Amino acid sequence: MTGVKKNFLKLTLDKSHFITERGTQVHKFLRAIGFSNIRKKDLEIILDEIVEHPEMMKITKDSEGNEFAELSRSFASNIGITVRGNYQDDDSFEMEYYYPYLLGTRISTNEQIEVEKHAEKESYAGVCDELNIGVTMIFYLQNVADYLAETNSRFSAVHYGARLAGLSVEGKIWAEFYDSFKFFLPEDFIINKRVKRPPDNPMNALISFGNTLLYTKTISEIYNTHLDQSISFLHEPSEARFSLSLDLSEVFKPVVVYKTIFDLVNNKKIKVEKHFNAKLNYSLLNDEGKKIFISAFEDRLNQTFEHPVLKRKITYKHAIRLDGYKLIKFITEGKEFIPFDIEKKE
């Protein structure tokens, strides 16, 4: 493909949305690489050692033109800690943050990767529509220095492919679940590629329509919390869009959007030949299809469940608002933000 450079970016999937800065607390994923009971004092010694004697050092210019450094040391095969920060005029190093890492060993996806900068620090998120599982994956970019060096060059690049790796202290692997979509969806709704603008098949049309409805509902719930809709953490903040709704809606897609889709498709309430526009290659719901989907979506969103902390029944719609309140607690009180958990229902 002329003019397109294919790069395989190393990415790491981090369940926590906030990378701990030095001097505050021990990064919770240090446990995942073997530092289960490390004290802050010992951690600072390790970080100083990485800065003074890194096994790998990458230096480039950051988004503001400062000398950005990425210093790493491994503690086992493909496992270690990376320190990021800036070198000052007197050659001293000022650490911005650190994180434990796990290097992926093989290409996990060959789809196009969009890269967005986080608001608070020189860290970046990779966003990828994973075709095999039909969901949007968001992850921390691990080789930021490589990305910045390329971005600073006079050649712009389109990035394809990623090596995904995950650290977890209590999480479960969902890959097998997503990979099983092809086993329980009717043949007419098998998804070979996640395409959004515009959708190119019935399943993509359902996913895009469902996500749009969820974004709209999330915006409405955020209004009740008085959070600024344009300030986000996973997606690039922008006054031109309500980017916070993109953040908060992600964890509700499986339980609201995909659950609605699977129920409609597998119970044959939505049919390709009847509820999609044939003139557009069945890539868009017709009016009757939209009406059916919206009704099922609303029913799902307003379905109630027992909240284990509040000790009363709430809807999934209200759960979105509660995540907004959790975010306020994080901002104002420093309380750890833990998004809605499908299994725990909180």
- pTM recorded for the entire structure: 0.52
Q: 198: cis peptide before it, omega within 30°?
A: yes
| Domain boundaries, given as residue ranges, for the chain | 9-167, 180-333
pLDDT, mean of residues 193-219: 78
Q: Would you state the pLDDT for residue 134?
A: 60
Q: Would you state the pLDDT for residue 3?
A: 34
Q: Would you state the pLDDT for residue 339?
A: 87
| Neighbour tally for 281: CB within 10 Å | 13
DSSP 52-107: HS-SEEEEEE-TTS-EEEEEEEEEETTEEEEEEEEE-TTS-EEEEEEEEEE---S-
pLDDT, mean of residues 29-42: 81
Q: How confident is the model at residue 19 (pLDDT cuts 50, 70, 90)?
A: very low
Q: pLDDT tens for residues 221-248?
A: 999 998 888 887 766 666 666 888 888 9
CATH topology of domain 180-333: Four Helix Bundle (Hemerythrin (Met), subunit A) (1.20.120)
